[in-house]
Chains A and B, each alone.
Chain A
Amino acid sequence: MRPQTALRTLFLSLLTVAAAFSAGCSKPEGEERVVRVTRNIGGREGFRRHFEAWKAAFEKANPGWKMELTDLGDTDASAFYKTRVATGDVPEVLQTWSFTKYMVDSDMLMPLPDSFFDKFGIEKPTPYQGRQYDSQSGLQFEGIAVNKKMWGDIGVTEPPRTWDDLIAGLKKLKEKGHRPLVYGGRDWSAWTPLQYVLKVNLYDANPNPSSPSWTVRRDKGEVKFSTDPTARLVVERIVELLDLFAEKGALSDGYPEQQRLFYGGQGATWMMGCWIAGDLEPNKVELDLDYWPIPSMTGKQPAFVSNWHMQNGWAIYKGASEEKKQKAMACLEALYDPGVYQLFLNAEGQFSTALKVPVKGPKVDYGPAQGLFDTMAARVKQYSLHPGWFISLEDQPPPSMKWERIMQEILSGNKDVDALLAILDDEWDRARKGQ
């Protein structure tokens, strides 16, 4: 009878397959000489090259040990880390992104000794609860990428001194028929212009402990977006910026679209971080680009925003065995092997902060990219670095704050400054509850 034999085969196959899988379920954990590392790679060739070099350097210096990759982006990492914490099976070396604070508070991370930083001449980041937990990457900074040819068309070759000058320049570009600004509201990149101007206008360029930051004052209730005149000014000028220069349809543009426009030579200005220089080679970009600091709205000097004060690199899982923790340390040290460090800086477009390592900054074969790196290095010397709100882990806005919400509101037609300021306050309060 057909159903009968079918049934028998079904059950047999069920048993076989179940058995096969159960066989795969007993794997001795923790016995192996493996250090597991999380790192985002995704589609980025530069990151892949970096990891391979890092792995090679570690395995060479630690014979018998292997380095195993867990490829994660930061959104997946959140879910991943949380479930691993629940089961106690966490990789030994962890990329921490913006979760450092949560991970330390959950007692996941092992503090790093001063000797580690001294060995490579790294200036230590601001401690969190008195300790350092993360390796430092390089110097990453944020500024404005510009197409030299287009700006040259209107006679501008040096960065604008003030925000008004910037707006005036953008207007002239528009009159000349160029696309003045590349901007999109669909994904995270929507917040860049807003964050830029908040960081350089609401926060001090030289924070000191006796003068509390805007964040601290906001959390204490001494100041709010709705009542702070600088915040009001910022929001007004941002509304103006989007009103004049954000195109219809910006809500459907995200980072990839902006990148395509800018690298395709169809936009004069892109407010994005220094890593974009690392993407010139994969995209075969041959434009002549400059990188400018962010002009102030409150009469201060233009400056680049950098986050090197923040603890944001790789950390070591506290719950690993002593032997594994030692090897994890060795793994972190391998990061500063000159060849590895060079590849890291190249991929991320960052400059060196490890003074004892004989690598100064990105060095790539691709002409246009190296040209941009050199330009960036020169501009950073010319202008200064501003920490923005990257003062310390204890003293920054809630990491889950939704800055892009305000920008999307503006793009949707909401130009009421009071309403927007109220939204900023509302979002801040909401996000603070998550800490």
Chain B
Amino acid sequence: MTTYSSRPAPGRAENPFHENPFHPPAWKNAATSALFCGPAILLYGGFVLLPTLLGFGYSFTNWSGWGQKPGFVGLGNFRELFTDALFYRAFRFTLFETALILLFFTFGTMVLAVLLDRLKAMKGLIRALFFYPYILSILVGGLIFQWLGNYREGAINTVLRGIGLESWAQEWMGPQWAGWFLFAFVVWSAMGFFTMLYLANLQMIPDELYEAAALDGAGPVSVFRHVQFPMLMPTITTNSVMALIFGINLFGQVVVLWEQPRNDTYTIGYYIYDLGVRGNRQGYATAVSLVMFLILAVVAVVQVRTLRRREVHL
């Protein structure tokens, strides 16, 4: 494929340390590893892992979040969690949203990225149109969607009524549609992210593969199945894991869309926030987050392992 150089291996004069370039001595290997990884590990360990461990420590207390000294309650919070009906309700709703999010952001955005990849005209413009909502802060997006989804005077219903589809005007924030409306908002605001990742991956596909497929007379669908899809596996892994995490932790979109979401539309992420900020039960909230974190960690690791095995390594 590429030839970097056709020079022969260096002789003694050029390699004074007699190092085998493929296997440098162990200490040197370790030192270089430290140099490569060091900064990342230090920063991450010091400013993410350490506070998290300390933070999770609060899940064994009944801390309110304010300055009072927390009281130790052992596994009391976890026992309470076991029988918490609201937790289960939120969990069910979160799973519903996560399933939708996982499917759409893994496959839907892939299709969109493939469509956006090889455009003949207005490439930048069209991509920018789909990407723009991601640039907007979700706070603004939430306000826009509140404005869109209002039953009486929101843009969606106004347009529907205006074109004579009166019966299609729904209570978008009502019990029937709320979950779907939230999903629509999530898609609108985050689609750019996942599509961009796919697009970046698509751009790394070498042209030779496309040329070879063209020589074989492959149409676009075939190209997708045999060239693009296999090469996209790394991003499929990335996106599906990110989508899973995003779904399970979904919180921001819920709070900006409905300042006071109905119980039916509580996600776990919102529940944790609500317990901590409004309910003044930071200890219990941390216990809930610890449980969710453990569940998520197990699922995500399994997912990554399974998907990485299927990736094409050049």
Contact = CB atoms under 8 A, between A and B. Distances in A.
A89 B263 CA distance: 36
B64 A102 contact: yes
B67 interface: yes
A433 B64 CA distance: 10
B279 A430 contact: yes
A249 B171 contact: yes
Contact of A82 (B66, B171, B284): B66
Contacts of A86: 67
Interface in A160-204: 186-188, 190
What range describes how many residues of B lie at the interface?
A: 20 to 34
B66 A85 contact: yes
A430 B264 CA distance: 17
Contacts of A413: 175
Nearest to A260: B153
A101 to B, nearest CB: 10
A408 B173 CA distance: 11
Interface in A381-414: 400, 404-405, 408-409, 411-413
A251 interface: yes
Nearest to B257: A186
Nearest to B178: A251
B154 A404 contact: no
Interface string A240-262: 00000001111111100100000
Interface stretch (B41-49, B117-125, B144-152, B199-207): B144-152
B277 A188 contact: no
A142 B304 CA distance: 56
Contacts of A186: 146, 173, 258-260
Contacts, number: 101
A79 B277 contact: yes
B279 A412 contact: no
B194 interface: no
B68 interface: yes
B158 interface: no
A252 B146 CA distance: 7
Contacts of B68: 105-106
A99 B278 CA distance: 10
Contacts of A252: 146, 149-152, 154, 171-174
B67 A78 contact: no
Interface string A303-323: 000000000000000000000
A405 B263 contact: yes
A82 to B, nearest CB: 5
A105 B175 contact: no
Interface in B230-264: 258-260, 262-264
Q: Residue among B152, B281, B282 with the most chain A CB within 10 A?
A: B152
A412 B175 contact: yes
A105 B67 CA distance: 8
Interface string A119-133: 000000000000000
B232 to A, nearest CB: 26
A108 interface: yes
A187 B260 contact: yes
A247 B153 CA distance: 13
B146 A105 contact: no
A103 interface: yes
A225 B171 CA distance: 31
Contacts of B150: 249, 252-253, 257
B66 A105 contact: yes
B59 to A, nearest CB: 15
Interface string A87-106: 00000000000010011011
A156 to B, nearest CB: 26
Given A108-B66, A251-B173, A405-B263, 12 more contacts: A82-B65, A102-B280, A106-B68, A190-B260, A249-B152, A250-B151, A251-B262, A252-B174, A409-B262, A431-B279, A434-B64, A435-B64
Interface of B: 64-68, 86, 146, 149-154, 171-175, 258-260, 262-264, 275, 277-282, 284
12 contacts: A82-B66, A106-B68, A186-B258, A248-B171, A251-B171, A254-B146, A408-B260, A409-B262, A411-B174, A430-B86, A430-B279, A434-B279
